[in-house]
Chain A
Amino acid sequence: MPATGHTGIRGAAHIAGAYEHPRREIPDRTVAQIHTEVAAGALADAGLQFSDVDAYFCAGDAPGFGPLSMADYWGLELRWFDTTEVGGSSYLAHVGHAAAAVAAGKCQVALVTLAGRPRTGGRRPGGSGRIPDAPEIGFENQFGLSIPANYALAARRHMYEFGTTSAQLAEIKVAASIHASHNPHAFLPREVTVEEVLESPMVADPLHRLDCCVITDGGGAVVVVSPEVAADLDRTTVKVLGHGEAPKHTTGGRPDLTFTGARWSGPAAFAEAGVTPEDIDYVSIYDSFTITVLETLEDLGFCPKGEGGRFVSDGALVAPHGRLPFNTDGGGLCNNHPANRGGMTKIIEAVRQLRGEANPGTQVPDCRLALAHGTGGALATRMGSATLILGQEDA
């Protein structure tokens, strides 16, 4: 049923601070310390302090009892907390929720953090099949379904229905690697070719090793503030223009593996922002695997369903002059994938682009509107999709 009397969050909040942890292996810090380092970094970027924070958002990567443990650790006095846990899409949802909370007058300075050590701490990516009492567990954990295999099922079906090829998927990795070559912090800073992707070992066919994201330690944080707080800060801020989120699931046993929840989260975000895909200058697209990017681009409306393979094949994703520059930090495919969750870094790179602070060689000229999209869970079973539309301060 339609909502009534709402005005949306367009312009209701700004991202005033953003910070990405520079390290990719962090064996000498606890997870709480990494949350602390990224929180301090984002607050300093905004010109704010821990004592200014009145709302805190975290997901399943936060240690202990989430906001209770971290508010205790930091000594925060909070008016609002949110532990929305939808995997890698959580942090984009958090920004949308923070903007809504700010719009409702519930808080003025919202801190969102992500941190984890899957590389040196030994935590491998896993789906809900590893969570006790997940209702589907007995019917999905008997078959050796790894995360790459889960996405491979989607890739195979997309190829079957639309003729998508492994070489087309490889183009996504190539574009990310070109961007990573400009990023001094990237885990895989070397440019790769389509041939190298296709010749890398098969993990779960049709996905090769280089179709998969990296596994790194790290983290990131953003600070979402009210327009009044933003106006008092010296730092250039980014305006939150639109947000959408949706689960996509197995539909009682009829999963369609050719699309993602971006089919719903995207249009909601565009409608709230009052813009269309043609207006977007830069996109951060969740890239756990190359197929994740391809299906998401289609679902967000950057090309028709099934045309993703052709869309990415002519350098369209390569900054600064491609039709739709994406993931200019190198993304999860090359830069980092802290805590096995790429959502936070998607927001951070979009903020950099809108502030004109992307790595030299990847800055999109006059980047006024950006989209950041997160995917949590897995393509072939159940996922959370969350989309943000962000704009320059005066957008």
Chain B
Amino acid sequence: MTTTPPDNHLPVTEPPVNSETAPYWEAAAEGRLALPRCEQCGYVIWYPRQFCPECSSTEIGWFDASGRGTVYSFTVTRKSWGEWGQAAPFVIAYVELAEGPRVLTNIVGVDPDDERLTIGMEVTAVWDRTPEGQGILRFTPL
């Protein structure tokens, strides 16, 4: 998967890593999108947690996803507050991953007014870096 994001000016914040989400963030730091999957029923879970909301199992494994997906919905934020206000306009989206889950993210590397920006647009994962080297998942058009 692509790991170098297009230039963007979106704020990055250090994520709150905990015992439930550490495998995700360890992969993210390496530019890999790791997804949790229920060992009992196979459901691919989002957001990451040590519990399957489909079958109530707590046996959760991890696998590397393709990083490919399509835009399920999006909005161009024109007005916001603080550092995000200064970054506006920017694109927030739900991307439906090829593996099933819909993840909140930003679409970068495309002008917010570009006509290509539509529901159904194919995108691929890119990683912005925090000062401490953590990866923040965003997507860019294929």
Contacting A138 at CB < 8 Å: which of B21, B44, B74?
A: B21
How far, in angstroms, from A287 to B136 measured CA to CA in the complex? 33
Q: Which of B1-28 contact A (CB under 8 A)?
A: 10-13, 15-17, 20-21, 25
* Inter-subunit contact A157/B119 (CB<8 Å): yes
Residues of B within 8 A of A380 (CB): 73, 94
Residues of A within 8 A of B100 (CB): 253-254
Residues of A within 8 A of B20 (CB): 135
* Inter-subunit contact B90/A144 (CB<8 Å): yes
How far, in angstroms, from A141 to B15 measured CA to CA in the complex? 9
How far, in angstroms, from A143 to B119 measured CA to CA in the complex? 18
B58 contacts partner chain A, Cβ-Cβ < 8 Å: no
Quick one: CB contact mask for A152-165 with B, threshold 8 Å, 1 for yes?
11111100100000
A166 to B: closest C-beta gap in Å: 13
* Inter-subunit contact B79/A203 (CB<8 Å): yes
* Inter-subunit contact A124/B16 (CB<8 Å): no
How far, in angstroms, from A380 to B93 measured CA to CA in the complex? 11
B9 to A: closest C-beta gap in Å: 11
B105 contacts partner chain A, Cβ-Cβ < 8 Å: yes
A202 contacts partner chain B, Cβ-Cβ < 8 Å: yes
Residues of B within 8 A of A139 (CB): 46-48, 103-104
> What residue of chain B has the Cβ atom nearest to residue A153's Cβ?
B73
B49 contacts partner chain A, Cβ-Cβ < 8 Å: yes
A75 contacts partner chain B, Cβ-Cβ < 8 Å: no
Q: How many residues of B contact A (CB 8 A)?
A: 47
> What residue of chain A has the Cβ atom nearest to residue B13's Cβ?
A142
How far, in angstroms, from A137 to B79 measured CA to CA in the complex? 22
Residues of B within 8 A of A4 (CB): none
> What residue of chain A has the Cβ atom nearest to residue B20's Cβ?
A135
Q: Take A143-B106, A160-B119, A252-B43 as given contacts and tell me if A153 and B92 are in contact as well, using a CB distance cutoff of 8 Å.
A: yes
Residues of A within 8 A of B84 (CB): 144, 146
* Inter-subunit contact A157/B73 (CB<8 Å): yes
Residues of A within 8 A of B123 (CB): none
> What residue of chain A has the Cβ atom nearest to residue B113's Cβ?
A205
B87 contacts partner chain A, Cβ-Cβ < 8 Å: yes
30 A-B pairs in the complex with CB atoms less than 8 angstroms apart: A124-B81, A135-B49, A138-B17, A138-B47, A139-B48, A139-B103, A139-B104, A142-B136, A142-B137, A143-B105, A145-B92, A145-B104, A154-B73, A157-B72, A157-B73, A157-B119, A201-B78, A201-B79, A203-B79, A204-B76, A204-B92, A250-B46, A251-B53, A252-B46, A252-B53, A253-B44, A253-B45, A255-B94, A257-B72, A257-B94
